[in-house]
Structure 1
Amino acid sequence: MATAIKQQSKVSEAEWAARQQLAACYRVFDMLGWSELIYNHITLRVPGEENAFLINPYGLHFSEVTASNLVKIDIEGNKLCDSPYPVNLAGFTQHSVFHRDLPDAHCIAHTHTTAGMAVSAIEGGLQPLNFYSCFLMGHIAYHDFEGITVRSEEGVRLVENLGDKRVMFLKNHGILVMGQTVPEAFMKHWLLQRACEIQLDILKTGVKPVVVPPEVVAVHQRDMSKVALPGGFGAPDFAAMVRLADRIDKGWRE
């Protein structure tokens, strides 16, 4: 607790709230089985600081991330807080370019889930085969695999290939989602992950799948707002998952 008090005393109330929300997101991702050893990343722009964002300490599992041990860095990768932890170059290279060039990309999540990586390697990517994938049709970008993302010049191509989309398959690599809020990014990842899981199960049957026609996809997406709860996209869903995470361990709040 002493570490949490020390860190909290050094940052603004807005940054501390952001730290807690991002730490909660890491715990929720882990709870849902989206961790990958000490790798992958969820980042969040620091409120009121355009060129600063929070990232997980390199070397810690998602289940070990707390509000205090999140690392604050700038767009150039320089640490802006006292931290004994390094930052994964692959995470910095990929996320910094989006935070720098996309004003609405406040929260960015990149994972290597089995289902996400599998669909990223399928010709044609995600298809309109299920309830969840139909929400995402027309909103997904694709980026060809270039190896581990540690070269700054790849950032230009990442932004170009993303275009006006905010969900991307990194081919043969994994998935990337971004949102204006943490709950929005969480919900986009949840939808994409579920869509991928179901698509893979459909393909396992060996039976020709039923493809939802574009006109039905359009109606499906149009009517999504009719079942939305107050608070913004993903907010009630994320809040529910945070309550579940709290039942397991509240240490992320420190």
Structure 2
Amino acid sequence: MQTEAELRVDLAACFRLIHLYGWDDIVFTHISVRVPGSGHQFLINRFDLTFEEITASNLVKVDFSGDEAVVRELRVNPAGLVIHSAIQENRPDAECVVHCHTQAGIAVSSQRDGLLPVSQQAMLVLGSLGYHDYEGLVLHDDEKPRLVKSLGQNEYLMLRHHGLLTVGRTVADAFKRMYTLQRACETQIMAQSGGAALAVVAPAARERLREDVRRVTKGNDGALIWPALLRRLDRLDPGYKD
């Protein structure tokens, strides 16, 4: 099990990578990771910092209760608190939750049929993808049960007209899933822009692909890529460790 100090470094790295890939939305999205132990707490970003400003030491620790005074004092996005506390409390396996407002993600989430099986990345996602209908800014606790139900036991979630969300047992796993989901959305928008009818992949081939990927990666997608991503950050943007 990782220590809180190690999780802080990984989470700060995730924010910097989201910025590096251009998936951030000034200060308006959020990523969290559960703090080890029985304190029912998680780490999340301050609302007044852009993603390239986030470091291991300026992440803030909040609990599942969402005490408003604490939120104001620590300057946490209230929508982020609702989303992350709902999932962190109800999905013990979801140690990390990544939420983004990417243009491609919002575009696909707004389409009636959602994500289509038109790319290899999409086929990796479709077996574990949920959808959550738009209810406005996620500020109210009464939306929590519906959000949790929409995610279910899936690893990926599309919030209709809003954005993308992924979960993982590690920061690395949740980031890798966001990368895959985002690429699938980008590819779908590009394919649709050509105007031709789209060919979809047969269900049997989708399942075979997912099994082949599990064999190749041994179920360790995040662990496979994370050291290389950290080395990239160390070359380009090492301040995340501070």
TM-score range normalised by the length of the shorter chain: over 0.9
Correspondence for 2:112: 123
Matches within 5 A, 1:141-220: 141-220=130-209
2:227 paired residue among 204, 221, 239: 239
* Letter of the structure 2 residue corresponding to residue 96 of structure 1: S
Q: Paired residue for 1:74, among 63, 87, 91?
A: 63
Could you tell me how far apart the structure 2 residues matched to 1:127 and 1:61 are? 32
- Match in the other structure for 2:24: 35
2:217–2:224 contact (8 Å) kept in structure 1: no
How far has the Cα of 1:166 moved from its partner? 2.0
Q: Distance in 1 between matches of 2:38 and 2:17?
A: 25
Work out the CA distance in 2 between the residues paired with 1:249 and 1:138. Answer: 35
State the 4+ residue runs in structure 1 displaced beyond 6 angstroms: none
The alignment's TM-score, normalised by the length of structure 2, stands at 0.94
What letter is aligned with 2:98? A
Tell me which of 192, 211, 236 is aligned to 1:248. Answer: 236
173-182 or 241-250, larger mean C-alpha shift: 241-250
Deviations 1:187-225 (A, max 9, x none): 110000000000000000000011001011111111112
Letter aligned with residue 170 of structure 1: L
Question: Is 1:109–1:185's contact at 8 Å kept on the other side of the alignment?
Answer: yes
TM-score (norm. length: structure 1): 0.90
Work out the CA distance in 2 between the residues paired with 1:103 and 1:202.
Answer: 37
Q: Is the 8 A contact 1:183 1:235 kept in 2?
A: yes
From 59, 63, 78, the counterpart of 2:52: 63
Percent identity between matched residues is 39
2:140 and 2:158 map into 1 onto residues whose CA distance is 19
**Which of 21, 29, 48 pairs up with 2:37?**
48
SS in 2 for 1:168: strand
The CA deviation string for residues 103-130 of structure 1, in whole angstroms up to 9 with x for no partner, is: 1010001000111111010111001001
Unpaired segments of 5 or more residues in structure 2?
A: none
Q: 1:180 to 1:19 in 2, by over 3 A?
A: same
Give the letter for the 1:146 counterpart.
E
Which residue matches 1:226? 215
In structure 1, stretches of 5+ residues that fail to align are: 1-12
Q: Is the 8 A contact 1:21 1:182 kept in 2?
A: yes
Kept in 2, the 8 Å contact 1:18–1:47? The answer is: no
Shift of 1:84: 6.3
**Counterpart of 2:3 in 1: which secondary structure?**
helix
**CA contact 1:186–1:238 (8 Å) conserved in 2:** no
Cα displacement string for residues 4-55 of structure 1 (whole angstroms, at most 9, x for unaligned residues): xxxxxxxxx8111111110011111111111110110110001124510000
Report the equivalent of 2:101.
Answer: 112
CA contact (8 A) 2:23 2:101 kept: yes
Q: What secondary structure does 2:167 align onto?
A: strand
Matching residue of 1:99: 88
Q: RMSD across aligned C-alpha pairs, in angstroms?
A: 1.8
Aligned pair count? 239
Please give the alpha-carbon distance, in whole angstroms, between the structure 2 residues aligned to 1:17 and 1:196: 31
Residue type of the partner of 1:75? F
Does structure 2 conserve the Cα–Cα contact (< 8 Å) formed by 1:229 and 1:236? no
Give the Cα separation in 2 of the matches to 1:84 and 1:24.
24
- Asked whether the equivalents of residues 105 and 163 of structure 2 are also in contact (C-alpha less than 8 Å), the reply is yes
Query: Which of 106, 120, 126 is matched with 1:137 structurally?
Result: 126
